[in-house]
Amino acid sequence: MYTAEGKYVEVKIPLSIYGARGKTTLVGVGLMIKGKKSDGIVEIEDLTIKGGEGAGLIASRGMNVIMRGCSVVDSTESGVFATGADISCDNLQVVGCGRNGVIAFNKATIMLSGQGTSIQRNKFYGLNALNASSIIHLIRPLTKEQISTNNGGGGNWGGNWGGDGTIEQVSK
Domain residues for 72?
A: 2-170
> Beta partners for 172?
none
Backbone φ and ψ of 37, nearest 5°: -55, -35
pLDDT tops 90 at residue 36: no
Q: Express each pLDDT in 113-139 by its tens digit.
A: 999 999 999 999 999 998 889 999 999
CA separation for the pair 116, 15 (Å, rounded): 24
Closest CA to 22 of 70, 72, 91: 70
Q: Is the dihedral of CA 130, 114, 149, 123 positive or negative?
A: negative
Q: Express each pLDDT in 137-168 by its tens digit.
A: 999 999 999 999 999 987 899 865 556 889 99
Which pLDDT does position 166 carry in this prediction? Answer: 93
Q: What is the count of structural domains for the chain?
A: 1
